[in-house]
Structure 1
Amino acid sequence: MLPIERKMRIIEYVRQNRTATIAALAKQFGVHEATIRRDLAEIERNGTLKRTHGGVIMEQWTQEEPSFTERTTLNSDQKMRIGKMAASLVKDGESIIIDSGTTTLHIVKHLLHRNDITIVTNDINIAAELRDAHRVKVILTGGELYSSSFFLNGMFTDHVLRSLHVEKSFIGTPALHPQYGLMHPDERVVPAKQGMIKAAREIIVVADHSKIGKLSLHTVAPNSSIHTLITGKEASEFDLQPFRDSGITVYTV
């Protein structure tokens, strides 16, 4: 097999399996591990794959978020589990920020009957969910309404967030990368998410398994800013271990 053909087949193999070890690739293609390492170095320079310790992964990009309606049906059972776990970390008497999103919406479903909690959010759906929670104080940030997703954003949102100090912020994201951290394809929402992170003592990221390992255009915050990650049991240990190695507490539910 010619080297160029082997590299093409390596890319296809990793694309189908998402990850591969050097040993597995050497066995698959009947060559020495040193040959595979040289192949992977050249492939990585072309930006197709990303080498890791002892293996390789296929870089996956998030170019844009689906609509709110589409996102409500994606991994919905997993998001319910994540929401329940996240809510269990909230203590009575705390002030918290809950970011907009379909995963974060499931957090508040488990906070409706809690006592003396203040929830700040930029999400109309989250505020509406809490309308009958009489022992929960709800603060909307204000801002420009993004009607496709029912959240508030912009200068007014950023101004309010800069004035706040809370115990915890629960942040949603379409992409969480082991090297580049929290990411998002839309630069317009980055300042609000950064404001939520700066306002809190503890940052808890809630993301279903499909968001783990993804790249996107803009970095919101490095992994060093994150204290806790809650994701689904569907996430692979291969994907989660780099976050644990960064000192992040990881829950799989």
Structure 2
Amino acid sequence: MLPAEREQLIITFLKANKKATIHDLATEFNVHEATIRRDLNKLEQYNQIKRTHGGVVLNNTEVWDELNFDDRETSYYHEKVAIGQHAVTFVEDNDTLFIDSGSTTIHFARALTQKHNLTIITNDIHIATVLKSSSNQVIVTGGVLYKDNYLLNGMITNEILQRFNPNKLFLATPALDLEKGVTHFNDALAATKIQMVKQAKEVYVLTDSSKFDKVSLYHVCPTSKVDVLITDQSNTDIDWEAYTDVFNKIVPVKVNI
């Protein structure tokens, strides 16, 4: 078993059992305790776990999965609508865009139908369907279909993304942190986001503030790569001054409920 596979299984084990000792995990996965210690060191580095007296528990700031698209779309709905609608103000005629798959970027796509002469590349068939009624050119990447989330991903997707160099990327994320930047819990989905960031001239992150102070295992990009962060300020637990200091530009949106 590869270390990355075992690390994910450790997370699954802790999610089910709440806590474990090194001995418990070594027995569960039939490896030496030294191997488990190395795994835990890596998971701790990415803030996924916390060491406790005599064991280890999950870090509640860690994001290791998420709901399917239909459930996510209704969560923080008004915030996502406001973010998506405001993000359109950063789009100009004749722009070329990557639109990442997500429950916030779908609202951005709906607002884009009023724009003209855009070239839009997306790995989300739901977004492509929304945009089919617009006058813009829409390119769908292809790839393996993730049925619960309407997205296309994998080797084919990443190879196609390499052929484009758009002006702007509108990126979604389940986790955002001052130190770790943009992260994701799925290595395959993270790889596609990394490719989008690499190809695009400017990076716009669209995310509601419930995703702040969260970290997942796989790194996507540092805060320095984000040109504009568009979000709400509903989360009163966030140190907004610290985020303003770290990110190049934060655009708070007004949420109408």
Q: What TM-score does the superposition give when structure 1 sets the normalisation length?
A: 0.75
Corresponding residue of 1:71: 72
Corresponding residue of 2:15: none
Corresponding residue of 1:156: 156
Report Cα offsets for 1:54-80 as digits up to 9, x if no partner: xxxx96111101111110110000000
Structure 2 unaligned residues grouped into runs of 5+: 1-46, 52-58
Alignment of 1:222-233 (within 5 A): 222-233=222-233
Note if contact 2:180-2:222 (Cα within 8 Å) is conserved in structure 1.
Answer: yes
Count the aligned residue pairs.
200
Report Cα offsets for 1:39-66 as digits up to 9, x if no partner: xxxxx9x948xxxxxxxxx961111011
**Equivalent-residue separation in structure 2 for 1:103 and 1:117 (angstroms):** 20
**Equivalent-residue separation in structure 1 for 2:124 and 2:132 (angstroms):** 13
Corresponding residue of 1:85: 86
**Equivalent-residue separation in structure 1 for 2:240 and 2:192 (angstroms):** 26
Q: State the Cα distance separating 1:239 from its structure 2 match.
A: 3.2
Note if contact 1:203-1:225 (Cα within 8 Å) is conserved in structure 2.
Answer: yes
Corresponding residue of 1:183: 183
Corresponding residue of 1:165: 165
**Equivalent-residue separation in structure 2 for 1:123 and 1:211 (angstroms):** 21
Percent same amino acid among aligned pairs? Answer: 35
Question: Is 2:137 the partner of 1:137?
Answer: yes
Corresponding residue of 1:220: 220
Note if contact 2:153-2:189 (Cα within 8 Å) is conserved in structure 1.
Answer: yes
**Equivalent-residue separation in structure 1 for 2:90 and 2:60 (angstroms):** 32
Q: State the Cα distance separating 1:235 from its structure 2 match.
A: 3.3
Note if contact 1:59-1:215 (Cα within 8 Å) is conserved in structure 2.
Answer: no
Which SS does the other structure have where 1:88 is aligned? helix
Structure 1 unaligned residues grouped into runs of 5+: 1-43, 49-57
- 2:244 partner amino acid: R
Corresponding residue of 1:10: none
**Equivalent-residue separation in structure 1 for 2:238 and 2:147 (angstroms):** 37
Larger fraction in strand:
1
Q: What is the Cα-based RMSD across aligned positions, in Å?
A: 2.0
Q: What TM-score does the superposition give when structure 2 sets the normalisation length?
A: 0.74
**Equivalent-residue separation in structure 2 for 1:70 and 1:239 (angstroms):** 28
Mean CA deviation greater in 74-83 or 238-247: 238-247
For the pair shown, the structure with the greater C-alpha radius of gyration is 1
Report Cα offsets for 1:2-41 as digits up to 9, x if no partner: xxxxxxxxxxxxxxxxxxxxxxxxxxxxxxxxxxxxxxxx
**Equivalent-residue separation in structure 2 for 1:59 and 1:147 (angstroms):** 28
Alignment of 1:1-253 (within 5 A): 47=50, 60-133=61-134, 135-236=135-236, 238-253=238-253
